[in-house]
Amino acid sequence: MAESGDADNSVDDEWAAAMAEAEATGDDDGGDGLDVQAAPLEAFDSGPMQAGGGGLNPDLDVILDIPVMISMEVGSTQIPIRNLLQLNQGSVVELDRLAGEPLDVLVNGTLIAHGEVVMVNEKFGIRLTDVVSPSERIKRLK
């Protein structure tokens, strides 16, 4: 038990020292709960790619597990609402693509590749036939 009391005291001492240091340097947040400080520009000099264009920045690991929506687009068309309301089971809607043309692969609505439909264990899949380069994707955003 004496050891846990010593640990509590050391944490309390560290906390008191940190508070005293903050008061001495004028880092008091004024009670508004916000302590905003400008980050030095040097902190932002390194981009996601290292100077040699090689590996990824370790900070990129933070976003690698964020889920994104990937979808495949067979084609599209525009129809008047009147025709849309008349659609029922068995209706056929003509698309702007020819049969056999590659599908568009979209990630969060942005075209990243083209591909063809394949069967994988009795499920549909897509084999990528052409991947849009990152520079081309950036051009399309503008």
The pLDDT value given to residue 5: 54
The pLDDT value given to residue 22: 67
Give the pLDDT band (50/70/90) at residue 20: confident
Q: Pick the residue with more confidence: 112 or 53?
A: 112
Q: If you search the block for the tokens 């929506």, which residue do you land on?
A: 69
User: Which of 3-7, 11-15, 102-106, 123-127 has the least mean pLDDT?
Assistant: 3-7
pLDDT tens for residues 63-99? 888 899 999 888 889 999 999 999 999 999 999 988 8
Q: Provide the phi-psi class of 107: left if phi over 0, else alpha when psi is between -120 and 50, else beta.
A: beta
- Give the Cα separation of 103 and 71 in Å (integer): 10
Q: What is the mean pLDDT of residues 27-46?
A: 49
Q: What is the pTM of this model?
A: 0.49
